[in-house]
Structure 1
Amino acid sequence: MSFNSLSVLAISIGVLLFGMFLKTKINFLEKFCIPAPVVGGFLVSILVWFLTFIDINIEFDKSLQTPFMVVFFSVVGLSGSARLLKVGGKLLLIYLACCWAMAIMQNAIGITMMNAFGLNSLYGILSGAVALEGGHGNAIAFGGMVEDLSGLSNAKVVAIAAATFGLISGSLLGGPLCRYLILKYKLEIKTNEDIQDIDPLKHNIHHASYQEFLKSLFLILCIMCIGFYISSLFTKLSGYSLPSYVGAMLIAMLIRNINDIFNIFKLNQYTIDTISELSLGIFLTMAMMSLKINELSVVAMPLLITLFVQVVVLVLFAIFVVFRLCGKNYDSAIMCAGLMGHGLGATPNAVANMNAACNRYSLFSKPAFLIVPLCGSVLIDIVAIPLNTYLINIFA
């Protein structure tokens, strides 16, 4: 049984809405910030797997998955303004450097562990920064790249499993880690109120006209077209595979920074965020629906052990490196809670961790809430995505 692209789009939107519904009804899903596309799409993939036992094979047309994926990464690139590094000050630069080091460290651990089990190094990258720092979006994107370049048919499902493990682990450990640091070092419960608001693009705009939406969509589509061309040209000239979404993200960052200098056009953050959420939701749902769950069994135990090591090392990294470099105070403890969230899962988990910690001590940490989401959702990708692309090309 096969479904064409239009049918898959309709099913994906329905599954996405079902995932959103389940999140409102099941507290566990909301508490651990499990994305709605992961909830709905994973249930469909399990159903498809069970149907194979009664000789019913279902195939989904994946032709629309790549365009939606490139839209999402284009929007990520539009958020990468160099001004943010200047305005964020020394603390942002320190935390960002720690995030970049974390991405390198996670890949090194993943590759080393998988090699120790006699498995392909690409599994190590997929269970490293791709899935943990990158979350489900990067896991599916780079998992697809690995499948295309190396023929490892289970790359996506391995990356998704790692991302899900990290998502839950990061949510469980962020709050307790913060509390441990506060009690261990008897930290004074006070915060730095002098830090400036970081992102100059953010406005109190919660609506947009049809024309503004059309302008934002036109800009993103132009970025995608250029990105496709640049990626293809780079691959042809260098021999290294540069995925279209990476090319689009880099072009988007270039356009954003040129616009910051010359103020050529205004970016409507509301429309851009709406396009981003829509594209990510559909792209993730489509990818989750087509996962082959049975292919995970080949690397299940090595993957579990590798992920356990990743979690332990990140906890130690947060305590002995990030906490100290960021000031060894209440704000840095809250930031460590955030690091566990996005370092193992996603930015919403980081925010949830920091919210819980701040509520526990009845004090909002402005530096943490400004710096952690910005670094975790945008700035870390400046290093992590090119690094992952390079490593996959090398080992493939």
Structure 2
Amino acid sequence: MHVSFGAYYTLILAVLVLLLGKLMTRHIRFLREFNIPEPVSGGLVVAAAIFLLHQITGLTLSFESGLQSAFMLVFFSSIGLSANFSKLREGGTGLLVFLGVIVVFIVMQNSVGVGLATLLGLDPLIGLMAGSITLVGGHGTAGAWGAVLENQYGLGGATALGIACATFGLVIGGLLGGPLAKRLITRHQLARPLTAAEQQSADSIAVGEGSQVANFESSSHTPRLITTDAAVETLALFAGCLAFPEFMTGMTRGTAVQLPTFVWALGGGVVIRNVLDHAFGFKVFDRAIDVFGNAALSIYLAIALLSLKLWELADLAGPLMVILAAQTMVMALYAGFLTFRIMGRNYDAAVLAAGHCGFGMGATPTAVANMQAITNQYGPSHKAFLIVPLVGAFFIDIINAFILQGMISWLR
């Protein structure tokens, strides 16, 4: 038995998944504390219901894949359009050093995943799915690469596997960062807990830092509104980003530089953003791009989770937990020893280690939550709150995409 849903019905169901996730997040504390995205919480419940329906009746559901791909490309375009390389100057040498730390970590994370997958008799590409595709990349990257590995490399169930790993990473990243940083601070006597008066002052600083994380706009006192003109302007930028991968995919098909379509969308956004910034002095509206990108990501994830075939993961549960347990240990050791030491062995370095655990296993919001938990107790870290959002918001996705493409080409 098989039922297929067209584009309109797929979109309706995706919105219902988002509403379910929003309701669950509002009433379940665990989902709020660990920053589980609303489409993931709602989508996993629906995916579980579809799984039970399949097991009982044999019914299989399919959804419009073209709609999912379109929203995926919009999301990755938004990452590219947010990549203003002039921000590198704000981070200084500390940002460049931290980027170097992250590059080495991505390679190590993938090496651990591929090595363990091979030892366990699995396809090495499963190791990449339990590596930086999902842990550094998050749910959006998991779905994108999952589709590539399924369609181009025949790895069945890759998307379902990726969503499971990314969800695990979000939870572990939130659990790991705070205790690790606290241990580093206590062991090396880097700071003392704040008094009540100092705590109140730190709270006001954290609010200011939080606004910087949420919005990379200029420090204008009057916020720019998302008007009709701004929306049309932003849509035009996205149209350029979406045209770029279509052109480049056709031009590079069968060549050595053939890349997944979403990588071209991300790269197109980077090119368009920085050409407009530096060649024409055009001010790109970052907040509007964030709104469009976040909405696209939510709908994309909802459709991806609707399309999960959880029965394809049954044989991978045991080996997958072995790989993810090893990745957790590697993350803790790397952040506690290398990240902390290379970034200066001081209080800022300890907060950066907490942030690294957040987006090294989960996502940028998890990293920020980890850092806020530490700074609320021990005081502000301006350096960490500047570097981590800049790296986690877009630089990490660009670096990760090209490292993954190289490793997949090497494995195949």
Does the pair score TM above 0.5? Answer: yes
Name the counterpart of 1:310. 327
CA contact (8 A) 1:231 1:246 kept: no
Cα distance in 2, alignment partners of residues 207 and 115 from structure 1: 52
Secondary structure of 1:130's match? coil
Task: Check whether the contact 1:232–1:242 (CA below 8 A) recurs between aligned residues.
Answer: no
**Displacement, 1:202?**
4.2
TM-superposed CA distance for 1:203, in Å, is: 5.0
**Equivalent residue, structure 2, for 1:227:** 245
Would the aligned equivalents of 1:107 and 1:125 in 2 still touch at CA under 8 Å?
Answer: yes
Contact map agreement 1:147 1:155 (CA 8 A) in 2: yes
Aligned to 1:355: 372
Q: 2:28 — aligned with what?
A: 26
Paired residue for 2:313? Answer: 296
Shift of residue 206, structure 1, vs aligned partner: 5.8
Which amino acid is 1:81 matched to?
Answer: N
Change (3 A) 1:83 1:264: closer
Change (3 A) 1:188 1:57: closer
1:161, 1:83 → 2: CA distance?
36
Residue number in structure 2 paired with 1:50: 52
Residues 167/31 of structure 1: CA separation in 2 closer, same or farther (3 Å cut): same
| 1:113 matched to 2:131 | no
Matched-pair contact (CA < 8 Å) for 1:342–1:350: yes
Q: Are the aligned partners of 2:185 and 2:347 in contact in 1 as well (CA < 8 Å)?
A: yes
Moved more, 123-132 or 58-67: 58-67
Distance in structure 2 (CA, Å) of the matches to 1:22 and 1:215: 35
Structure 1 residue 214 and structure 2 residue 232: aligned? yes
Query: Identical aligned pairs, as a percentage?
Result: 37
Structure 1: runs of 5 or more not aligned: none
**1:259 Cα offset (Å):** 2.0
CA displacement at 1:391 relative to structure 2: 2.2
Q: Pick from 154, 174, 177: which aligns with 1:174?
A: 177
1:291 Cα shift?
Answer: 0.6
Deviation at 1:81, TM superposition (A): 2.3
Q: C-alpha separation between the residues in 1 aligned to 2:19 and 2:132?
A: 29
Structure 2 matches for 1:118-137, cutoff 5 A? 118-137=121-140
Counterparts of 1:391 and 1:221, CA distance in 2: 30
Deviation at 1:200, TM superposition (A): 6.6
Aligned 8 A contact 2:5 2:62 in 1: yes
Which of residues 161, 164, 168 in structure 2 aligns to 1:161? 164
- CA positional deviation for 1:263: 3.1
Asked if structure 1 preserves the Cα contact closer than 8 Å seen for 2:216 and 2:286, the reply is no
Gaps of 5+ in 2: 195-201, 203-208
Structure 1 residues 226-264: Cα deviation after superposition (integer angstroms, max 9, x where no partner): 1221123222333x6411110011111112222221234
Q: Distance in 2 between matches of 1:200 and 1:358?
A: 21
Which residue matches 2:353? Answer: 336
1:376 aligned onto 2:378: no
Counterparts of 1:9 and 1:200, CA distance in 2: 30
- The corresponding residue for 2:407 is 391
Report if the CA contact (8 A) 2:136-2:363 is conserved.
yes
SS at 2:324 equivalent = helix
Indicate whether 1:254 and 2:256 are aligned.
Answer: no
Cα separation, 1, equivalents of 2:369 and 2:218 = 21
1:321 corresponding residue in structure 2: 338
Other-structure match for 2:76? 73
Aligned pairs, number: 392
Structure 1 outlier segments of 4+, above 4 Å? 197-204
Q: Distance in 2 between matches of 1:138 and 1:352?
A: 21
For each residue in 1:40-97, what CA deviation from the matched residue of structure 2 results, as whole angstroms up to 9, or x when unmatched? 1111111111111123332222220011000010110112222122221111111111
- Give the whole-Å Cα distance in 2 for the aligned partners of 1:301 and 1:200: 42
SS state at 1:162 partner: helix
1:104 aligns with 2:122: no
Pick from 94, 110, 113 the counterpart of residue 91 of structure 1: 94
Cα displacement (A) at 1:188: 3.1
1:70–1:224 contact (8 Å) kept in structure 2: yes
Indicate conservation of the 8 Å contact 1:37/1:285, yes or no: yes
3-state SS of paired residue (1:215): helix
Distance 1:330 1:216, change over 3 A: same
TM-score normalised by structure 1 residue count? 0.94
Describe the superposition over 1:162-212 as per-residue Cα deviations: whole angstroms up to 9, x where unpaired: 111111111011110011000111113599xxx9x8997445536211011
